[in-house]
Amino acid sequence: MSRTDVRTLAQQHLFPHFTRGDVWYGESVPMIVRGDDCYLYDDSGRRILDGLAGLFCVNMGHGRHDVPAAVAKQMDQLSYWTNWGAAHPSAVEAATLISGLAPDGLETVFFVNSGSEAVESAIKLARQYHVSQGEPGRTKIISRDMSYHGTTLGALAVTGIAKFREPFGPLMPGVFHVPHTHGESVPEGGSAADLPSLRAIVEVIEREGPETFAAIFAEPVQNSRGALVPPPGYWQELRSICDRYGILLVSDEVICAFGRLGDWFGSAKYGVTPDLLTFAKGATSGYAPLGGVLIREDLARSVLTSERTGAFTHGSTWGGHPVSTSAAVANITAMRDEHVLENVRTLEPVFQEGLTGLTEAHPSVREWRGTGFFYCLELTGDRDSGRELTDRQATELVREVLPAAMRDVDLITRPDDRGATMLMISPPLVADREVLTDLFTKLDAVLSAADHHVAG
């Protein structure tokens, strides 16, 4: 089949995710056919640096042989079984391995197939836990403005991006969105409790009544609005608020887990144990679909044994699939044995030094933000003069200029317009100094195109 035929068939029969029609029906839809370490190859043989680790998930890089070998072995032995009233060794091994790396107290794993499903499950777990405690009125949820927690209807209600929610309303009621942490810092002589974002949470809880809230959802580092690293003490105060009002703290780590921030879990990086922790993406490095919820042991036991509940009335056919959980075991074991988290922590200063150099060299860059191997470059009209982007410039950058410049230098990152004009940068965690040097060289060219466009 020719390259043209494949594209034509894709446009006729394959419905895309989060892709504009003018892009999908255009002539430049990428057709990726192979991956090797931190690079991808398209159907014309172009070698493309994957600066986004797929979608923040290919932590161990493309083209490994150990994970597919483990998957093939599992398929030969047991290709499918369910966790409904039964178990199988692959799911047990994966759950044991993951819980052994998790913050103390998170000892139980509920497997699903994606990050959205993980968040959906955490919403239902939180509500059913409160039922098991004789508090069925605790149904409300708090999350943050511009936060992304998934696309299923419950997860979408928790998501704080209005343009994603609006086409599908009305959504689940009782969800409150509070300010995120962008631009915040702990005041001199004060504490994290003085942060406006945390004060807003307390205000909502006290206004609505603490007895009506089930959970607070937050990412350790918020993806949407551009790799928002929390101020010192933020997570400790968030934990304190939840304890004070009897609300469950849910750490959404679909991106932040499995090494992206340099620790196994992002909440551990910030020294807090949540009640529930959602994960997906890096659990298998994208080699198979898998998501899940890490659950505080006493919470899990309460849901399963309370006379008011007796079971978690939620599940799916594929949750804890033997093939996907075998991929997770192989992937996480390799991550541990090959000291990948140490690579992230060692190269974090190199990464940040490179981003600082790019920022200083390009007046269209307002600043960089992030930690570990998870970053954002936020763009502006001119940093030195304070000139902002016009609406037209912002749209042209995200839809035309940045994508074209990335194609020119064989780079994939993510132009993002959720709250600002940004480039998200999140390479595989196995990237070494040579790969980072290549990444900075390519980003330099992309940012030069941005400079030229906004100057004109």
For residues 11 and 22, give the distance between their C-alpha atoms in angstroms, rounded to a whole number: 11
Burial of 240 (0-12, 13-18, 19+ CB in 10 A): middle
Provide the CATH number for the domain formed by 31-63+339-455 in this structure: 3.90.1150.10
For residues 282 and 157, give the distance between their C-alpha atoms in angstroms, rounded to a whole number: 24
Q: Count the Cβ atoms, other than its own, within 10 Å of residue 18.
A: 7
For residues 136 and 12, give the distance between their C-alpha atoms in angstroms, rounded to a whole number: 48
Residue 23 is predicted with a pLDDT of 86
Which SS3 state, helix, strand or coil, does residue 15 take?
coil
Q: Which long-range contacts (CB under 8 A, 24 or more apart) does 37-45 make?
A: 37/61, 37/62, 37/63, 37/428, 37/430, 37/435, 38/62, 38/427, 38/428, 38/430, 38/431, 38/435, 40/412, 43/3, 43/6, 44/3
Residue 27 is predicted with a pLDDT of 76
Listing DSSP states for 160-190 in one string gives: --HHHHGGG-S--SSEEEE---TT--PPTT-
Nearest residue to 49 via CA among 350, 438, 445: 438
Nearest residue to 255 via CA among 133, 87, 370: 370
Q: Can you say how many angstroms the Cα of residue 19 is from the centroid of all Cα atoms in its chain?
A: 19
pLDDT, tens digit, 9 for 90 and up, residues 37-95: 999 999 999 999 999 999 999 999 999 999 999 999 999 999 999 999 999 999 999 99
Burial of 133 (0-12, 13-18, 19+ CB in 10 A): middle
> According to the CATH classification, is domain 66-337 in 1.20.120.1200?
no
Residue 2 is predicted with a pLDDT of 63
Per-residue pLDDT of the chain (456 residues; tens, 9 = 90+): 666 688 889 989 999 998 898 888 887 788 999 999 999 999 999 999 999 999 999 999 999 999 999 999 999 999 999 999 999 999 999 999 999 999 999 999 999 999 999 999 999 999 999 999 999 999 999 999 999 999 999 999 999 999 999 999 999 999 999 999 999 999 999 999 999 999 999 999 999 999 999 999 999 999 999 999 999 999 999 999 999 999 999 999 999 999 999 999 999 999 999 999 999 999 999 999 999 999 999 999 999 999 999 999 999 999 999 999 999 999 999 999 999 999 999 999 999 999 999 999 999 999 999 999 999 999 999 999 999 999 999 999 999 999 999 999 999 999 999 999 999 999 999 999 999 999 999 999 999 999 999 997
Q: How far is CA 157 from CA 119, 131, 217, in A?
A: 11, 21, 12
Residue 3 is predicted with a pLDDT of 64
Residue 31 · residue 6 · CB < 8 Å: yes
pLDDT, tens digit, 9 for 90 and up, residues 279-289: 999 999 999 99
Residue 8 is predicted with a pLDDT of 87
Residue 372 is predicted with a pLDDT of 98
